[in-house]
Amino acid sequence: MLEIKNLHASVEGEDIEILKGVNLKVNAGEIHAIMGPNGSGKSTLAKVVSGHPEYEVTQGEILFNGEDITELDADERAHMGLFLAFQYPVEVPGITNKTLLREAYNTIARANDREELDPLEFEDYITEKLDVIEMKDQFLSRSINTGFSGGEKKKNEIFQMAVLNPVLSFLDETDSGLDIDALKVVSDGVNKIANSENAIVMITHYQRLLNYIKPDHVHVMMAGKLIKSGGFELAEELEANGYDALEKELVLNGEAQ
Amino acid sequence: MSEVIQRDTMLSYITGSVESSAESVAIRAINERGREDLEKTPFPTRKDEDWRFVDLKSITKSQFCKLEEANAADVGDISEHYLPEAMNCRLVFVNGVYNEELSSVEDLPNNVIVGNLAANADNNSVKEHLGTITNYDDDVFAPFNDAAFTDGAFIYVPEETVVRTPIHILNVFTDAEKAFYATPRLLYVGEMFSKSTIIEEHIGLADNQYLNVPVTEFKMFTGSNVHHARIQRDSKNASHVSRPIAILDKNAEYHSYTICLGAKLFRNDPRVIQNAEEVNFTVDGLVLIDGNQIADTHSIMDHRFAHAGSHQLHKVVVNDSAHSVFNGKIFVAKDAQKIDSFQENRNLLLSENGKVNTKPQLEIFADDVLCSHGATIGQLQDEEVFYLQSRGLTEQKSRELLVYAFALESVESMEVESVEKLLLSEVIEYTNRDNK
Ligand SMILES: Nc1ncnc2c1ncn2[C@@H]1O[C@H](COP(=O)(O)OP(=O)(O)O)[C@@H](O)[C@H]1O
Ligand SMILES: [Mg+2]
């Protein structure tokens, strides 16, 4: 489904390389986790994949269902089924959640020759989706993330994911800022959305989230590269020994630069 | 020996003499007064503090003639501009001239008058108030209107009367061979505890050059209440200089919302004068300009007695090389205690060449006063655009929604659904032009 090959990316117009040769393959039905210390490039990877204009791909390619999407705009990627749950969801005063989601849903439907929903049909559809994340319907008429608590913002991202039903989702530190109750609700929601047709890449700092959403593959990111991949046991190892131990081990093996 | 510098008057930019064909003695007296003021008042230049930022060349590089000499086109069918809510409550003026055929006034409550000034010249309220409320020192534009107007709109709402239908004052301007001037006039008299909604609109049907100089006077008696929306959609080559003024008796409420979309040069000097204690008023504005448009608002909120609540939210979106000027004066007289006044000017700059000058001006002589004011100039946030785009919205749609969200507060105040819809589509058209 997703294939990232030797991806290098810099800040647009500047000579700061952040991604330094990322390789990643994600198949339908899989859940991946990317872990790594602060500043290692996890968010940048998610943003580059979703088409953020702040970054420039200088080498390598991103294939989505076999098509090179490296040059596509963010909205075109969204139409193909890519979704990013932001680490820092943006507040947009004056535009309600419902307005955004109806516009987004119908734009994506149009791009894929699917039936658009009229306001009444959409109302029914979206109300049903509120259950996924146990949200109250007042949420719909509030301005996007405006005045939301940290936890509400993260929940709202997963709610949008439920409504837009993407093929591939990057969840960037969705667990941070969530108390244990909210974490359970959000994880339940993600588990309900996950199926054999779609795929999820979770970015996280802690193993906490992975206890609720079991990844099939775990990758470690350091200094702009995925330096090690494995199964769930890799996450446990990291939780026990920390990133420093892993770094040392790699240096000993002559794998890190 | 001192040298006398002869400065131009307004008359330098007018072909022929300014005359009025008014039959009414009352109107002729105002015409006469206007002519006298015109002849002795120099036309403003950038050396005048109140005109420092405004380029007036779209007036001074032209000559404006009487309508009769302009060879103006017929008005044609303008029904698309009628408001469904005000189907039977509409006065139409074509190039400043009352058009009875296109106007429609029916089903009004007893004794309410919505008609033209010339036909109501003998009405006591007209005789008493017309021309007495306007109060602009050293001005050339209000006197120009005074000198030239022969007719206008007259609205009279009697005591304890509520007009539920919005009253639509529709000024349309047609194409013409020559640049002409027009002097629309509106007198509103609200008796004690009366209430109404006025939609005053100015629409240019073509893109010709003309000079539109309206004067509106609102006399608000005790406890009266008005919601006054002003929508300026003049031709992109027109100059529009407005003098809207309201005077408020005890417990009166006057809420005005000015929307500026058209004209090459728009200068608006709204004034609200408190004439007794305990009043409430609003002087909101929304400006959406691009190309080389100039929109300048110089407002005065004049608190002269205790216990007033006043509100001014002036929102501006500037694109291309457009230029917005805002100067909001808040006056609070010495004994006007317990004033609660709010002023905010928020600007959204969409281009590098756009320009914004903003200046709040507070002159407060009372001590028990709550007065907040502020001005911001910002741009569309890239992160907001990306957030919406990452959800599948095109960049164009994302920008459109963000500009709309910015303008929303002002649009929501319209209270008349078709006007809200109209403004929404204007915002969409405005952002589309951005993406040409
Ligand atoms: N727009 C940018 N301009 C400059 N530096 C950036 C920019 N975006 C990210 N970086 C830098 O790239 C590195 C990786 O950032 P990020 O992807 O946010 O890391 P992570 O999500 O793993 O914590 C950091 O050092 C960060 O400061
Ligand atoms: Mg991050």
**Separation of alpha carbons B192 and B204, rounded Å:** 36
How confident is the model at residue B407, as a pLDDT? 85
Cβ neighbors of B392 (< 8 A, separation 6 or more) are A75, A78, A79, A103, A104, A105, A107, A108, A111, A164
B301 in Cβ contact with B273 (< 8 Å): no
Q: Residues of A with CB below 8 A from B390's CB?
A: 50-52, 74-75, 77-78, 83-84
A150-164 vs A97-111: helix axis angle to the nearest 10? 30
**Separation of alpha carbons B56 and B131, rounded Å:** 26
How confident is the model at residue A47, as a pLDDT? 97
**Separation of alpha carbons A8 and A70, rounded Å:** 11
Q: Give the ligand 1 atom nearest the CA of A36.
A: 22
Average pLDDT, chain B: 94
A41 in Cβ contact with A224 (< 8 Å): yes
User: pLDDT tens-digit profile of B150-165?
Assistant: 999 999 999 999 999 9
Residue B436 has pLDDT above 50, yes or no: no
Would you list the domain boundaries of chain A? 2-252
Residue B246 has pLDDT above 60, yes or no: yes
How confident is the model at residue A257, as a pLDDT? 45
Strand pairing class (B253-260; B89-94)? unpaired
**DSSP label at residue A43:** H
Give B45's pLDDT tier (boundaries 50, 70, 90). Answer: very high
**Separation of alpha carbons B35 and B19, rounded Å:** 9
**C-alpha A202 – ligand 1 centre gap (Å):** 18
Residues with CB under 6 Å of ligand 1 are: A 11, 16, 18, 36, 38-44, 54
Q: Whose CA is nearest to atom 10 of ligand 1?
A: A18
How confident is the model at residue B413, as a pLDDT? 77
Any A CB within 8 A of B401 CB: yes
Which token pair is A244? 């420093």
Any A CB within 8 A of B388 CB: yes
**Separation of alpha carbons B404 and B408, rounded Å:** 6
Q: Whose CA is nearest to atom 4 of ligand 1?
A: A11
Nearest CB to B384: which of A54, A92, A160? A92
Residue pointed to by tokens 């109107």:
B27
Interchain proximity A107–B390, CB inside 8 Å: no
How confident is the model at residue A196, as a pLDDT? 94
**Separation of alpha carbons B330 and B369, rounded Å:** 12
Give B7's pLDDT tier (boundaries 50, 70, 90). Answer: confident
Q: Name the interface residues of A facing B (CB cutoff 8 Å).
A: 50-54, 73-75, 77-79, 83-84, 86, 89-90, 92-95, 99-101, 103-105, 107-108, 111, 143-144, 160, 164
Residue B2 has pLDDT above 60, yes or no: no
Residue of A86, A88, A95, A114 best to disrupt the B interface, most CBs of B under 10 A: A95
**C-alpha A205 – ligand 2 centre gap (Å):** 9
| Beta strands across the sheet bearing B369-378 | B97-105, B89-94, B167-173, B195-204, B225-233, B253-260, B279-289, B308-318, B339-349, B369-378
**DSSP label at residue B264:** S
**DSSP label at residue B238:** -
Cβ neighbors of B114 (< 8 A, separation 6 or more) are B89, B91, B105, B108, B153, B154, B155, B167
Any A CB within 8 A of B272 CB: no
Interface ipTM: 0.95
Residue ranges of chain A with per-residue pLDDT less than 70: 252-257
Q: Look up the CATH superfamily of A2-252.
A: P-loop containing nucleotide triphosphate hydrolases (3.40.50.300)
Residue B435 has pLDDT above 70, yes or no: no
A209 in Cβ contact with A175 (< 8 Å): yes
Q: Among A201-210, B66-75, B241-250, which stretch is predicted with the lowest mean pLDDT?
A: A201-210
Tell me how crowded residue B73 is: count the other CB atoms within 10 A of its CB. Answer: 15
Q: Nearest residue of B to residue A46 by CA position? A: B390
3-state secondary structure of B222: coil
Nearest CB to B390: which of A54, A74, A111? A74
Give B205's pLDDT tier (boundaries 50, 70, 90). Answer: very high
User: pLDDT tens-digit profile of B333-388?
Assistant: 999 999 999 999 999 999 999 999 999 899 999 999 999 999 999 998 899 999 99
How confident is the model at residue A255, as a pLDDT? 56
Q: What are phi and psi of B94, to 5 degrees?
A: -105, 120
Would you list the domain boundaries of chain B? 10-269, 381-436
**Separation of alpha carbons B207 and A234, rounded Å:** 70
Tell me how crowded residue A63 is: count the other CB atoms within 10 A of its CB. Answer: 15
Q: Among A106-115, A175-184, B65-74, B76-85, which stretch is predicted with the lowest mean pLDDT?
A: A175-184
3-state secondary structure of A253: coil
Q: What is the mean pLDDT of residues B299-322?
A: 96
Which token pair is B91? 């006065």
